[in-house]
Structure 1
Amino acid sequence: MAALGASYQGIKKAIDVGRDISGMAGTVGQWSKAMSDIDYMEDRARNPPAYKLFSNTETDVLELWAHKQKAKEMREELKNHISWTYGPSAWEEILRMEAEQRKIQRELVYKKQEFIDNCLNAIIIGLLLLGGIASLVFVLYLYNERNGNY
C-alpha cells in the first residue's frame, strides 16, 4: 500500500506541474505494479495455500478490503484528474501500461510465489502422509505385540 500511495502522489504532482504522461512511465509503472499486487493478494485471499488454512485470515481479508477501497478511490481520482488534464486517451494509455505491468508481474513474481506455495503444500501433505503411515505402523506393532505375534 505504501508503494501505491507514493506512486499516486508522484503521478498527481507530475500532472500538477504539467509533465507529459509518457514522461511519468516509471511512476505509472510503480502504480500499476502496486495495483497488480493488490489484485494478486485478493486472488490469494480467495484461494489460500494449504498452510494458510490453519491461520486466522479474517484480519488479512479486512486489511485487503481497506486497501482495495483506498486504491479504488485513488484510481477514480487519478482517472478524473488525468482525463481532465490530458484527455481520455491518456487514461487509456495508463490502462494499457497497467495491463502490461500485470502480465510482467504474473510472469516474474507471482509464478515464483505460486511455486513456493506448491512446494510448501507438497511438504505439508508429505508430512501428514508420513505421520499417518507411522501411526498405522505403530498401531499394527502394538496390536501384534499384544497378540504375541512377535
Structure 2
Amino acid sequence: SLLQKLFKGDDIKTSAIEAFTAKKKLEAQRQELKSFINFHYGANSWNEILHMEGQIRKQRQKEIYERQELRRKIAEWIGIVLLCCTIIGFIVFLAWLWKEKRG
C-alpha cells in the first residue's frame, strides 16, 4: 500500500538522496549561470539579477496580500448586507405581526 511505501526506511533514504542530489545539481547550475552572466554582461550583472528577483518577489507578495485583503473586504460587505437584510426582514415581520394582532 501507499502508506507502507511512505514509511519504509529505504524509500525515505532514496527520497532524501534524490532531493540532496537535485539540490546540489541546482546549486551547480545556478553557479554556472552566475559565472556565464558575469562573464558576458559584467561583474555586477548577477547582483542586478538578484536585486530584480527581490523586487519581483516583493511585488508578487504585495499583489497576493492585496487580493487577500480585497476578498476579506468583499466577505465583510456581504456579511454586513446579509445582516442588514435579516434585521430589516425581522422588523417587517414584527410590523406584520403587530398589524395582524390589531386586526
TM-score (normalised: structure 2):
0.48
Which has more radius of gyration?
A: 2
- Please give the TM-score of this superposition, normalised by the length of structure 1: 0.35
Higher relative contact order (CA 8 A, sep 6+): 1
